[in-house]
Amino acid sequence: MAVRKGIESSLAIAEAAAACNVDCIAAYPITPQTHIVEHLSELVNDGELDAEFIPVESEHSAMSCCCGTAAAGARTFTATSSQGLALMHEIMFIAANLRLPIVMTVANRALSAPINIWNDHSDVMTERDCGWLQIFAENGQEATDLVPVCHRIAEDKRVLLPIMLNFDGFIVSHVVEPIEMLDRDEIATFLPDYEPQQRLDVDYPITMGPVGMPEVYTEAKMAHEAAVQNAYGPICEILDEFGKKFGRTYKPVETYKTEDADIVFVMMGATAETCMSWVDKVRETGKKVGIVRFRLWRPLPVAAFKEAVKGKKVLGIIDRHFSPGGPGGPVAQEVKYTLYGEKDAPKVVEVVAGLGGRDIDFDTFDNIFDRCQKVLDGGTVPPFELIQARGGHYGKI
Amino acid sequence: MEKFNVFASRLIPKEDYVCSGHRACQGCAEALAMRLVHKVLGRNTIAASATGCMEIISSPYPETAWAIPWLHVAFENSASVGSGIEAGLKALMRKGKIPKRKINVIAYGGDGATVDIGLQWVSGAMERGHNMIYVCYDNEAYMNTGIQRSSSTPLHAATTTSPAGKAIGGQQTWKKNMTEIMVAHNIPYVATINPSYPFDFMAKVKKAAEVDGPAYLHAYSCCPTGWGSRPDLGIQLGRLAVETGAFPLYEVEYGKYSVQEKIEEFRPLKDYVKLQRRFRHLTDEQIAASQERLIKEYKLLLKKEQMTREGD
C-alpha cells in the first residue's frame, strides 16, 4: 500500500529509483549536488537495494561508466545538475546514439559564470540537441512518479533511448513535500525486469560504437531522429498506463484554465505551480488567463501543443535560459516553430525570467500579463526581454 | 592450456579474436600486441576501446575485426567504460539475471588516451578496485591524429608538434613514467609488456586476467609510420628498446618488483635511435646523456626489485 509522507523530493526520487530495482548507479558530486545519489548509496550500503554503486571520479566518468553498465545490460540510473551535466556533454550524444536506456535525473540549475548553484534551465537547454528524451516535472510527486515511467519508456523495445528527467533545482529538489511514495511491489507490476535488446554478451558478440564513415553517418542520424520521433506513441501509452494504475495521470502537454482564456502563459517546470495560484487569484478580478506547460520536451509534442493553444490570441512565454546574441529563449523559439505558417496563430510575447535562482513571483506574472494585454489590445509585439534585470534591459540599455 | 603459466610456440592458441583484414599500417606492433592479448584472454572477454588507431582500424562500420563483444565510447574514458561493464556484469550475476561465470573485462587506450587526456579515468577505475585489465598501447605519440607529441614521447623525439627545428630539437621533456604512477595506486598487478617478447607478454596478460582486482599493462608498441622506421624492423626495435634500457620489462605483483630480460651489458642507445627517423637530428652528446639517464633509472629499478624482495 502506498504511503503518503512529508519527505524531501530528492530522497523520494532516490526511493523511487530503488523501487525500480536499478542494477547500477554511477555518480559524482560536482557542485551543485543533490541528495539523490547520497540516499541511494545509503540504501545500497544498508542492504535495502541490491545494486552496484560506483562512486566515479567525475561527471564525465559517471556518464562514461553508465554507458558501460547499460551496454552490459544493467538497469542504469544516475543524477546530475548544472556544471556536472555540462561536463557530461560529450558523452550525452554518444549514450543517445548507442541507444542505451539510461535514466538520469537533472535538478536544473544555472551554469557558471558567475558561479551560481541556483535554479534555472541553462544546464538542460544547452543539452537540447543531444538526442535524449527529455521530460520536465513540476513538483516532487511528479518527479518521483516519473522515475519508473522513465525506466519503462527508455527500456521499451520500440524506444531504447536514454531519458533525462528534469525538475527545478532547490525549488523542487530540496523542498520537503507531501509525497505519495511508490510501493516496490506495485512498481514491479508496472515496470518489469529490463530485457536488453542487445548487450555485450560473450555468447553473441557484437561491435558497439563503430566508426561511421560519411557513407553511413547521415543514415545513423536519420535512424536516431526516427527513434526519438517514434517514441511519442509509447510515451503517451506508458503515461496513461501509469495513470490508470496509480491514479495520477500525466500528459505530454498540460493545460490549466485555458478554455475561455485569450492570453495563455507557456512555461516549463515548477514555475507553472506558482503560476496556477496566480491565475486563480487574477481570475477573480476577471482576467481570462490560462497556462500551457510542456511536460515532454523531446520529442517536442508539436500536435498536442498546437491543439492546446488553438484559438488563443496571445501567448506569454517564460524562458529560464536564452542564447546571447541569438533569437531569445528556447521555449519561445520552439513555440514559434510550431506556430509558423499557421492560420490565425497567436502572437508571442517572450520574456526571460528566473535566471540563477531569481524568484518568479506574482509581480513577475503581472508584468508579463500587462505585456500580453498590450499586444491583445493591438500593440506591437516587443522583442524578448530579461524582465527582471536591473539597470536597463534588452534594446533599451 | 589453462593449466600452464608458461607459453611456448606450440602451445599458443590458434584462435584469433582480433581478426585479420583490419586496417592497421604495415608493421604495426600495436595491432600485434592487441592480437596477442586476445589470444590469451580467449572468447569470454569483453573489451572497451578508447578512440585511437586500434579503434579506427578495427571497426569501420559495417566491418569489424572483433570476434568478442566490443564497445567504443570516446577518447579519454575507456577505463571508466570498462569499469561500468565490470560493475554491470557483477550486479547482473549477483542478482541472477545472467549466469555466473568468469568474464574478462579489458579496457584499452593509446599513450595519449592513458597518460595525457585519460589519466584521471584510468586512475579512477584502478583506484576503485574493479576486477579489470587496462592496457596502454604506448607508441609514444598521438599517431592516429597525425603524430603529435604526448607526455609519453621520449626526449628529443621529433613529432608534428615537437618538430626537430633549428632552435628547438624535438620533444623537450622526459617520458612520463606511467607504469610507476600505476604502481603507486597499490593495485595487485602492474607490468610492462612488449610483443617482441611474446611468451613473457602472454604470461603477463594471463597473470593480469587471473589476479582478483585491477591490473595495468603498459605495452611497448612500435609505430613505423610515426617513428619513421622500416615496417619489417618492429620486432627488432622492441628488442633493442629492452636491451638499451629504453623500455625495461618488469612486473610488480602486490608491490613486489621483478625485472625480466635483465641487462648484463647495455646495448648502445645509438643502435636503437639510428633506426628511427624521429631521432635523426640527435647529436652523440644527446644520445649519451639519454643513455646515462636510462642506466640510472634501470639501476633504480633493480634496487626496487631488491628492496621489495628482501626476506623472500
State how far residue B251 is from chain A, nearest Cα, in angstroms. 27
A4-246 shares its CATH topology with A253-386: yes
Collect all residues with Cβ–Cβ distance below 8 Å to B164 and sequence separation of at least 6: B158, B170, B280, B281
Q: Rounded to whole angstroms, how far apart are CA atoms B207 and B136?
A: 16
Quick check: helix, strand or coil at residue A176?
A: strand
How much of chain B exceeds pLDDT 90, in percent?
A: 95
- pLDDT score at A396: 45
Burial of B5 (0-12, 13-18, 19+ CB in 10 A): exposed
The pLDDT of B169-174, averaged and rounded, is 97
Collect all residues with Cβ–Cβ distance below 8 Å to B288 and sequence separation of at least 6: B269
Q: What is the Rg, in whole angstroms, of the alpha carbon atoms belonging to chain B?
A: 19
Q: By CA distance, what is B52's nearest residue in A?
A: A211
Q: By CA distance, what is B74's nearest residue in A?
A: A91
The pLDDT of B90-111, averaged and rounded, is 97
Collect all residues of chain B within an 8 Å Cβ-Cβ radius of residue A51: 91
Q: Rounded to whole angstroms, how far apart are CA atoms B59 and A210?
A: 5
As a residue count, chain B comes to 312
Please report, for residues A74, A140, A356, A358, B207, the alpha-carbon distance to residue A113 in angstroms, rounded to integers and kept in the order given: 37, 28, 10, 15, 49
Collect all residues of chain B within an 8 Å Cβ-Cβ radius of residue A60: 76-77, 121
Q: Rounded to whole angstroms, how far apart are CA atoms A379 and B4?
A: 87
**Cβ neighbours around A388 below 10 Å, total:** 18
Summarised one tens digit per residue, pLDDT across range B232-244 is: 999 999 999 999 9
Q: What is the Rg, in whole angstroms, of the alpha carbon atoms belonging to chain A?
A: 21
For residue B154, give the nearest of B142, B137, B141 by alpha carbon.
B141
What part of B 93-112 touches A (C-beta under 8 Å)? 94-95, 97-98, 103
Report which residue type is found at B195. Answer: P
Which three cell numbers mark B181?
604512477
State how far residue A327 is from chain B, nearest Cα, in angstroms. 33
Pick from B85, B117, B121, B144 the residue to mutate for testing the A interface (most A CBs within 10 Å): B85
Q: Rounded to whole angstroms, how far apart are CA atoms B154 and B174?
A: 6
In our burial notation (b when 16+ CB lie closer than 10 A, e otherwise), range A275-301 reads bbebbeebeeeebebbbbbbbbbbbbb
Report which residue type is found at A301. Answer: P
Instruction: Please state the φ and ψ torsions of residue B269, each to the nearest 5 degrees.
Output: -60, -25
The pLDDT of B67-75, averaged and rounded, is 98
* Cβ contact B195:B238 at 8 Å: yes
Instruction: Inform me whether the C-beta atom of residue A240 falls under 8 Å from chain B C-beta atoms.
Output: no
State how far residue A236 is from chain B, nearest Cα, in angstroms. 29
**Cβ neighbours around A176 below 10 Å, total:** 13
Strands (E), chain A: 4-8, 24-27, 52-55, 76-80, 103-108, 133-136, 163-168, 176-180, 207-208, 253-256, 263-267, 289-294, 296-298, 314-319, 347-352, 385-386
- pLDDT score at A394: 46
Instruction: Inform me whether the C-beta atom of residue A41 falls under 8 Å from chain B C-beta atoms.
Output: no
pLDDT in tens, chain A (397 residues): 678 999 999 999 999 999 999 999 999 998 778 899 999 999 999 999 999 999 999 999 999 999 999 999 999 999 999 999 999 999 999 999 999 999 999 999 999 999 999 999 999 999 999 999 999 999 999 999 999 999 999 999 999 999 999 999 999 999 999 999 999 999 999 999 999 999 999 999 999 999 999 999 999 999 999 999 999 999 999 999 999 999 999 999 999 999 999 999 999 999 999 999 999 999 999 999 999 999 999 999 999 999 999 999 999 999 999 999 999 999 999 999 999 999 999 999 999 999 999 999 999 999 999 999 999 999 999 999 999 998 655 444 3
The pLDDT of B180-201, averaged and rounded, is 97
State how far residue B78 is from chain A, nearest Cα, in angstroms. 8
Instruction: Inform me whether the C-beta atom of residue B85 falls under 8 Å from chain A C-beta atoms.
Output: yes
Which three cell numbers mark A105?
535525473
Nearest 5°: the CA angle B149, B153, B158 is 65
Of A52, A64, A216, the CB nearest to B90: A52
Domain ranges (residues) in chain B: 13-308
CATH number for the region A253-386 comes to 3.40.50.920
What part of B 121-150 touches A (C-beta under 8 Å)? 121, 123-124, 127-128
CB contact under 8 A, A65 and B62: no
* Cβ contact B39:B209 at 8 Å: no
pLDDT band at B284 (very low <50, low <70, confident <90, very high): very high
Instruction: Inform me whether the C-beta atom of residue B26 falls under 8 Å from chain A C-beta atoms.
Output: no
* Cβ contact A80:A30 at 8 Å: yes
For residue B68, give the nearest of B22, B103, B117, B25 by alpha carbon.
B103
Instruction: Inform me whether the C-beta atom of residue B8 falls under 8 Å from chain A C-beta atoms.
Output: no
CB contact under 8 A, A90 and B74: yes
Q: Rounded to whole angstroms, how far apart are CA atoms B132 and B106?
A: 6
Instruction: Inform me whether the C-beta atom of residue B46 falls under 8 Å from chain A C-beta atoms.
Output: yes
CB contact under 8 A, B84 and A55: no
Q: By CA distance, what is B101's nearest residue in A?
A: A202
* Cβ contact A132:A161 at 8 Å: yes
- ipTM, two decimals, is 0.96
What part of B 166-195 touches A (C-beta under 8 Å)? none
Instruction: Please state the φ and ψ torsions of residue B190, each to the nearest 5 degrees.
Output: -135, 135
CATH superfamily name and code, A4-246: Thiamin diphosphate (ThDP)-binding fold, Pyr/PP domains (3.40.50.970)
Collect all residues of chain B within an 8 Å Cβ-Cβ radius of residue A98: 73
Peptide bond before A32: cis, by omega within 30 degrees of 0?
yes
Instruction: Inform me whether the C-beta atom of residue B62 falls under 8 Å from chain A C-beta atoms.
Output: yes
Q: Rounded to whole angstroms, how far apart are CA atoms A291 and A309?
A: 10
Nearest 5°: the CA angle A370, A371, A372 is 90
Of A67, A70, A205, the CB nearest to B69: A205
Q: Rounded to whole angstroms, how far apart are CA atoms B122 and B77?
A: 8
- pLDDT score at A166: 98
Collect all residues with Cβ–Cβ distance below 8 Å to A141 and sequence separation of at least 6: A12, A177, A179, A180, A248
CB contact under 8 A, A56 and B80: yes
Collect all residues of chain B within an 8 Å Cβ-Cβ radius of residue A24: 84, 87-88, 91
Burial of B151 (0-12, 13-18, 19+ CB in 10 A): middle
Instruction: Inform me whether the C-beta atom of residue A189 falls under 8 Å from chain B C-beta atoms.
Output: no
The pLDDT of B285-308, averaged and rounded, is 98
In our burial notation (b when 16+ CB lie closer than 10 A, e otherwise), range A55-86 reads ebbbbbbbbbbbbbbbbbbbbbbbbbbbbbbb
Using the 8-state DSSP alphabet, how is residue B132 labeled?
Answer: -
CATH number for the region B13-308 comes to 3.40.50.970
pTM equals 0.96
Of B67, B76, B89, the CB nearest to A72: B89
First to last CA, chain B: 29
In our burial notation (b when 16+ CB lie closer than 10 A, e otherwise), range B114-140 reads bbbbbbbbbbbbbebebbbbbbbbbbb
CB contact under 8 A, A202 and B44: yes
- pLDDT score at A397: 39
Beta strands A347-352 and A296-298 are unpaired
For residue A105, give the nearest of A202, A39, A42, A159 by alpha carbon.
A39
Strands (E), B173-224: 189-193, 215-220
Please report, for residues B5, B161, B294, the alpha-carbon distance to residue B154 in angstroms, rounded to integers and kept in the order given: 33, 13, 11
CB contact under 8 A, B92 and A74: yes
Domain ranges (residues) in chain A: 4-246, 253-386
Pick from A25, A30, A56, A65 the residue to mutate for testing the B interface (most B CBs within 10 Å): A65
